[in-house]
Amino acid sequence: MLRQGAAIAELARHGYDGLLTLYRRHGPVFTLGAGRHGYVYLLGPEANRFVFANTALFRTREAFEALVPVDGPTSLIVSEGADHRRRRALVRPALHHRRVEGYVRTMAESADAAIDAWRPGDRIDAYQVFRAAIRRGTVRALFGPRLAADADFLGDRLQPMLDVIDRMPQALRAHRVLRTPAWRRAMAARRAADERLYAEIARLRGEARGGTDPHAVAPGDGEGDGDGGGARGGHILADLVRARSADGAGLSDAEIRDQAMTLIAAGYETTSAALAWTLHRLLTTEGAWRRARAEAERAGPPTAESLGRVPYIAGAVNEALRLHPPAAISARHTAAPFTFAGHRVPEGATVVYSPYVTHRLPEAWPDPLRFAPDRWAEGFRPAPEHFCPFGGGAHRCVGSAMATTELVVTTMRVVARATLTPETREVRPRGLTTMRPAGGLPVRVTSVRPG
């Protein structure tokens, strides 16, 4: 029998690993808390399959309400039903893998710019360094050179928003209702970021009305042909302005703002966490850094073609996403009652599932705690319910191809150009909305090669 106090204490002491313990003790379904503040945990591969396959039983809006202050009320993350399908259909083409391949050079240049600042003997926080680099690369690749010039401005405004939502729902509600100083700072930061985004949307709409192709790149913008800026040198914000569904309807300015802000925030918050875990594992696994470096050197500079020649690095990225999924837990709100594994789950309950738990189960993964990039040899395709760092079903992250490409490209540049020594081998996770390394990723730069 589950004892509520003991279970909550287990989670408080051991965090994500506490969920693993509770799964082993109580099986795939258990409830913590009661009433509006209770959570029903559905854990393991079969639970994932059930959640992903039964979209009609769940709502995401209530489950991800905490993200609305950052992402906005029309973000894909909180959209439902027909609205979700329409917005996803308009956003998805701009994030298709063929378009993403066009961003490879931008991603590599952002990584190189960060590495260029290093000198042997430097002590750096690789997590924070690449958090800024990925933010700049993401904004440049997705939104073009004009907004790229404001990448740090946008990042500075996003941070108070991200800080305020990285809390339990009850705490976030208190901040909102009481309008605490943290809440007021976050909302002021949002207004400043929104002003910049809406100005760019208005400019692109003006170009579209005037017959100017908003994909076009003005001389001196710094976006060359080929890999620099995607197909025809374009970017996603222009695509969202131009996008039309089958009935000719487009996205409103507010919808474009919400998708853009979601892509910026998720594009560097979760990706930078995943990169930190990738580097941590490569640095603390015997021989892994040397092997990754040799592979990157053989493959040559990152291009759409050379990405296919780095299976060990790609496997390392997937292993980091498996062992340290940034979205370690996710949630849904039940729209109707249902029964799973013999347990009745009522309407209105908050259901929690966990990629972290699934990815560390021996019944799903042989030797699950071992970092083994070779398990991702060519042809290996785990079932979606076994490997779900980007969620699954109708609400699977639309930017997954963008994220994995950026992780592989950045890892290629770091291992090819730098030798790093970890300052600590023990890095603990923290964070509610994104599982990131507590205390960052402190490393010492041993050597740096020219770019």
Give residue-wise pLDDT tens across range 308-359. 999 999 999 999 999 999 999 999 999 999 999 999 999 999 999 999 999 9
Give the separation between CA 139 and CA 158, rounded to whole angstroms: 13
The two structure tokens encoding residue 201: 């949307």
Give residue-wise pLDDT tens across range 191-247. 999 999 999 999 989 887 876 554 443 333 333 333 334 433 457 888 889 888 888
The helices-and-strands tally (H runs, E runs) of the chain is 16, 12
Residue 332: strand pairing partners: 351
**3-state secondary structure (DSSP) of residue 123:** strand
Judging by beta carbons within 10 Å of its beta carbon (0-12, 13-18, 19+), is residue 369 exposed, middle or buried? exposed
pLDDT of residue 214: 47
| 397 among annotated binding-site residues | yes
The residue type found at 83 is D
Give pLDDT < 70 ranges for the chain. Answer: 1, 35-37, 97, 211-234
CB 30, CB 7: distance < 8 Å = yes
Nearest Cα neighbor of 278 from 383, 162, 414, 171 is 414
pLDDT of residue 2: 78
Q: CA distances (Å), 346 to each of 50, 78, 289, 349, 351, in order?
A: 16, 21, 49, 6, 10
Domains of the chain are 63-327+389-448 (1.10.630.10)
Name the average pLDDT for the chain: 88
CB 418, CB 448: distance < 8 Å = yes
CB 223, CB 102: distance < 8 Å = no
Other beta carbons less than 10 A from residue 236's beta carbon: 25
Which secondary-structure segment (H or E) carries 418?
Answer: strand 418-422
The two structure tokens encoding residue 317: 């990225």
CB 414, CB 389: distance < 8 Å = no
Nearest Cα neighbor of 26 from 50, 43, 47, 49 is 43
Question: Cα 301 to the chain's mean position, in Å?
Answer: 25
Judging by beta carbons within 10 Å of its beta carbon (0-12, 13-18, 19+), is residue 379 exposed, middle or buried? exposed
Kindly state the greatest CA–CA separation across the chain.
Answer: 69
